[in-house]
Amino acid sequence: MCYNMRPEANFKGVKMDKNINKPTEIQNNSKKFSWTDLPEGYECLSPMAGVTDTAFRQICKRHGADVVFTEMASANMMLNAPTRNAAFLHYEEWERPIIGQIMGGDAKTMAEAARVIEDMGFDGVDVNMGCPEKKIVGNACGSSLLRDADTAARIVEAMANAVNIPVSVKMRSGFYDSEIVQPQFAIRMQEAGAKALAIHPRTKEQAYRGSADWTVTRLIVENVQLPVGGSGDVTDRAAIERLRAETGVQGIWVARGAMGNPWIFERERTERPPLADVIATALEHARLMVKYKGPHGMIEMRKHLTWYFSGFQGAAALREQVKTVSTYEDLERLIEDHQLLERFAA
Ligand SMILES: Cc1cc2nc3c(=O)[nH]c(=O)nc-3n(C[C@H](O)[C@H](O)[C@H](O)COP(=O)(O)O)c2cc1C
């Protein structure tokens, strides 16, 4: 489906950010997606539960993300209660290439879920081997697989045998701080049939604390023959360049650096866009949230608004008030009350 700009994309005379890539045609999916066909230095929107839904993916795609990932979907739930996962797995044609990320701990279930992902038309299927959440780890899924390479390999092998789309793995450095499992784990995933790997070089114990250890990323790049994606502490364009230079990764997985900042994908940009562009994008994002999620979309949008509204004078007060926004009109009123556009024009 083509993305059509709606008339209300202009708010109080603010035009859409002119620098963004506007998708004008549906990308043809007749050619099978391959990780090795991507342009040099490709940049992906990394999977983020509660963040990388279709609305945000569309925003990032317009600003230059080459590949986007869904939020993780539970394989068990996909097979046993598919409607509960439906929103996670909804996408629009022009988001391609789009990869569906699934999470689970049983090879047969993961293979069946991979087949569902393929039948839904996704370009690839990714296995979550990084989620540190207690509930997930408790079910021997996500980062728990890092301490059981045999099961992890069986999962990848079963999935690769079940589908024709490429299977990729997103993993961490290890489960325990005291036991870095790379690059051996990555080599096992390659042998099991993975066609691409991405590494967030923190351990499960570290969760999101401390720094990502990019030396682990480099070690993997040097020891596998697959395209490797680098994740972790990708905060701005300079970090993207540094990660590439220091590790030799083929692709960059942008995660928290894209929150409230889809401009991070614009290769030529050297500074944050003007406030009017930020507002226009935040409004467009809000409209997409309502379009896909109904009124609840605005409640989910609040966190995105706090990310968009940072780094300018008066932003802190605005962020406080964002918590009370319940409708799209509330958001327009808030922007008007704060005279954001007038301040920008002054
Ligand atoms: C809110 C949030 C949700 C995340 N959800 C997922 C997920 O569903 N699947 C996954 O593989 N990684 C997930 N991640 C990890 C990111 O994709 C990324 O690897 C990690 O944040 C490191 O990159 P950064 O330091 O640049 O943010 C999540 C991260 C955050 C902050």
* Tens-digit pLDDT profile for residues 290-311: 999 999 999 999 999 999 999 8
- 294 token code pair: 């109904």
For atom 22 of ligand 1, the residue with the nearest CA is 232
- 282 token code pair: 């935040």
* Whether the Cβ atoms of residue 195 and residue 226 lie closer than 8 Å to each other: yes
Pocket flag, ligand 1, residue 255 (CB < 6 Å):
yes
| CA 226 to centroid of ligand 1, rounded, Å | 21
Task: Name the pLDDT band for 40 (thresholds 50, 70, 90).
Answer: very high
In the predicted model, what is the mean pLDDT of the chain? 90
Q: What is the pLDDT of residues 119-140, one digit of tens each?
A: 999 999 999 999 999 999 999 9
Lowest-pLDDT range, 3-17, 29-43, 262-276?
3-17
- 286 token code pair: 């809000």
* Residue pointed to by tokens 């809000």: 286
pLDDT of residue 314: 81
Q: What is the pLDDT of residues 131-175, one digit of tens each?
A: 999 999 999 999 999 999 999 999 999 999 999 999 999 999 999
Domains and CATH numbers, the chain: 34-265 (3.20.20.70), 275-345 (1.10.1200)
Cα distance between residue 176 and residue 258, in whole Å: 28
* Whether the Cβ atoms of residue 135 and residue 105 lie closer than 8 Å to each other: no
Q: Compute the radius of gyration of the chain from its Cα atoms.
A: 20
pLDDT of residue 25: 42
pLDDT of residue 124: 98
Q: What residue spans of 212-295 are helical by DSSP H?
A: 214-223, 237-247, 275-293
* Whether the Cβ atoms of residue 143 and residue 132 lie closer than 8 Å to each other: yes
| CA 257 to centroid of ligand 1, rounded, Å | 10
* Residue pointed to by tokens 């998708």: 23
For atom 9 of ligand 1, the residue with the nearest CA is 47
- Tell which residue, 143, 23, 161, 159, has the closest CA to residue 99: 159
Q: What is the pLDDT of residues 82-113, one digit of tens each?
A: 888 888 899 999 999 999 999 999 999 999 99
| CA 194 to centroid of ligand 1, rounded, Å | 20
For atom 5 of ligand 1, the residue with the nearest CA is 48
Does the active-site annotation cover 131?
yes
Pocket flag, ligand 1, residue 70 (CB < 6 Å):
no
Cα distance between residue 56 and residue 156, in whole Å: 28
Atom number, ligand 1, closest to the C-alpha of residue 200? 19
Q: What is the pLDDT of residues 190-224, one digit of tens each?
A: 999 999 999 999 999 999 999 999 999 999 999 99
pLDDT of residue 338: 75
Average pLDDT over residues 238-267: 98
Task: Name the pLDDT band for 8 (thresholds 50, 70, 90).
Answer: very low
For atom 16 of ligand 1, the residue with the nearest CA is 255
- Residue 26: pLDDT over 50: no
Lowest-pLDDT range, 54-68, 188-202, 250-264, 312-326?
312-326
Tell me, yes or no, if the pTM score tops 0.85.
yes
